Chains A and B, each alone.
Chain A
Amino acid sequence: MKFRTYHQVAGDDASRLGEQVAAQRSRIRERLRGVRRVVGVMSGKGGVGKSYLTAAMAVGLMPRLTQGVGVLDGDLKSPTAARMLGAAGPLHLDTDGVDPAVGLGGVKVFSMDLLLQEGQPLRWREPGTERFIWRGVLETGALREFLADVRWGALDLLLVDLPPGVDHLEDLAELVPALTGAIAVTIPSEESRRSVERAMHAARESKVRLLGVIENMSGYTCAACGRTGPLFPGEAGAALAQSFGVPLLDRIPYHATLPQPTGLATLTDALLAVLP
């Protein structure tokens, strides 16, 4: 080669992109300085009731943690946290940041739900071709801004409701190196066990501490008689907990008539026991 290559040229790149990215990370660190714990709520599988449980955990823990609880809805494409927690905009915004909405029991919430037109999907202003190239980058950028620019204030716990899949927890762990840990949500079925198992392995590979497993839809509770019967075959929650050596935090039956997330007493106690 007749000319020097990138690393042979000693100077910074002209745009100082490394510095710009470092500044973004620094903003997150500063913003989360008052947040004692950040916990990701994940599942390898969709439709397991993760968002409902995130809201229920927040509502249940709120009166038990003196500095309060926040919920960051990391599911940008199917955001539900704001509506589930009864939080609404408009959001107060100034040069320093944006205030989260406040939902049930005083839980602080931030969700793409608050920013989109009712019923409209998440759409990016972008050239119409090759969208797959930058869409993931934009989504991670949005999560970064939700962490860095929302005035979370002092919180005992910030729960991050992650979309299904294995890579979102890894993104969160990169953005928040001091991530406290993750809680995995499954339903009892074998299909769910296999899917959540992959997500939990990915968490371990990313050095994210697994705090426990919640098995949701663990039976069906009849609204008329109150008896709980079977809903899905399998015992994925117990199997995953045993396999990964983490506690099974709770097995929660499906209640067709619960209109809003309510604090689940057993789950709340179990969470308080595992939160460092």
Chain B
Amino acid sequence: MKFLCIECDAQMHFEEREVPGDGTFAAAFRCPTCGRRIALLANPMETQLVGSLGVRIGGRTLAEEPLELVRSAVLGRDDAFKEEPAPPGRPAWSPAAQERLTRVPGFVRGMVKKIYLEYASDREIALITPEVMDRARTELGLEDM
């Protein structure tokens, strides 16, 4: 998908995305010539269709996790996987963030936790809070996490 600024006859650049958590998706594009911005707003069906391909609008900022699509899309059993615990010294979780994490189905929780930990580590964030989780979800384009 390409966006063309008709006035400038220039291809618009991807700028940022929003994942509000209601199954929809938004992405902003900017014209490099005139600076005009437009937003692509996808309904849940369109968002799901793109997600089903295992690709990310705006490009991938994280390497694909093993069984990423299956774990994020299937309602699976909580004890399906035996995952290695995160090494000590990683960012800590606030009680509110931990509580929110418990609401993530066990089938996908390990992957979600790892993604947030890496996001926080990369940005030297010492404490993961719900706000950090929201920011990560939007920046990384994560749906249902």
Contact = CB atoms under 8 A, between A and B. Distances in A.
Main secondary structure of the interface of B (DSSP, over half): loop
B45 to A, nearest CB: 5
A217 to B, nearest CB: 32
Interface residues of A, number: 51
A91 B74 contact: no
Interface string A86-102: 00011111111110000
A67 interface: no
Contact of B70 (A15, A17, A115, A133): A115
Interface residues of B, number: 48
Given A17-B53, A91-B80, 13 more contacts: A4-B4, A13-B1, A21-B55, A93-B67, A93-B110, A115-B70, A125-B72, A126-B73, A141-B52, A141-B54, A141-B69, A145-B54, A145-B66
A66 interface: no
Interface string B47-68: 0110011111111100011111
Contacts, number: 142
Interface in A69-99: 89-98
The 5 closest A-B pairs by CB, nearest first: A14-B14, A127-B44, A137-B52, A149-B66, A90-B82
Given A15-B55, A141-B53, A9 B75 contact: no
A110 B72 CA distance: 18
A117 B75 CA distance: 9
A127 B23 contact: yes
Nearest to B118: A95
